[in-house]
Amino acid sequence: MNFYALIPAAGSGSRMGGTIEKQYLDLNAVPMIAHAMMVLARAPRITRIFVVLSPTDRRWNNYAWQGWEDRIEVLRCGGETRAETVLNSLDAIAKICTPDDWVLVHDAARPCLPDEMLAKLLDEVADDPVGGLLAVPVADTLKRAAADPASGARVEATVPRAGLWQAQTPQMFRHGKLTEALRAAGADMTDEASAIEQLGLQPRLVESDSRNLKVTYPQDLELAGMILRKLYE
């Protein structure tokens, strides 16, 4: 049984608001995607890392990526949505994976995954029949906004947070089951676990923390820089 990592990096980063796809934004002197690659490459159990780019990506080749040749394989089969990107790449690697091999899908936009968190996910899920994901119990009080407020956003209700977790990545599932789940679920799933849940399965939640944030808005990039300095100081 092997562990493969898949880094979807075919998004445009529209919520960052800039012209450079966010996976290539400079973060502590390297493109953001390199941080996700480094954490996965340091994990001894992971045999290979697939980086999934858009077929129209023009930036990857601007970097030398020296020393990475043996650890990563670049797939240029990104799709219109994240789910399509992941499904296309599962199909692309089907000839080298067995259905029982694990695939860890990890966002290019999560640069601050601590090594010990990745190890914890592998430890807790490697023997699980379904698979699982890193996630954080919700800490804030949650408000639902009224659908059509007369003036600005207004609270319609407070949503009880008990039992609610925020999903992160990596999310790890077996190649065969994940392929089946994503093919059945369609293109709109925002994470792998949702597709697996639609098969009636219950992915394992492995408790993580807020350091493993996803860089979505410009202010997240600055925060990620601070977390990385703290992690590796």
Closer to ligand CTP at the Cβ: 170 or 225?
170
If binding is defined by CB under 6 A, does position 106 make contact with ligand CTP?
no
Q: Which does 61 bind (CB under 5 to 8 A by kind): Mg ion, ligand CTP, none?
A: none
Beta carbon of residue 11, minimum distance to Mg ion (angstroms, whole number): 5
Binding track, positions 59-98, relative to ligand CTP; x by CB under 6 A = -------------------xxxxx--x-------------
Counting residues that bind ligand CTP (by CB under 6 A) gives 22
Beta carbon of residue 110, minimum distance to Mg ion (angstroms, whole number): 13
Binding track, positions 15-54, relative to ligand CTP; x by CB under 6 A = x------xx----------------------------x--
Alpha carbon distance 24, 33 (integer Å): 6
User: Exactly one of 3, 5, 11, 49 binds ligand CTP (CB under 6 A); which one?
Assistant: 11
Per CB under 6 A, which region of 105-113, 143-151, 160-168, 174-182 contacts ligand CTP?
105-113
Closer to ligand CTP at the Cβ: 110 or 175?
110
Question: At a CB cut-off of 8 Å and minimum separation 6, what does 90 contact?
Answer: 6, 103, 175, 178, 179, 182
Beta carbon of residue 151, minimum distance to ligand CTP (angstroms, whole number): 28
Task: List residues near ligand CTP by CB under 6 A.
Answer: 8-15, 22-23, 52, 78-82, 85, 107-109, 214, 216
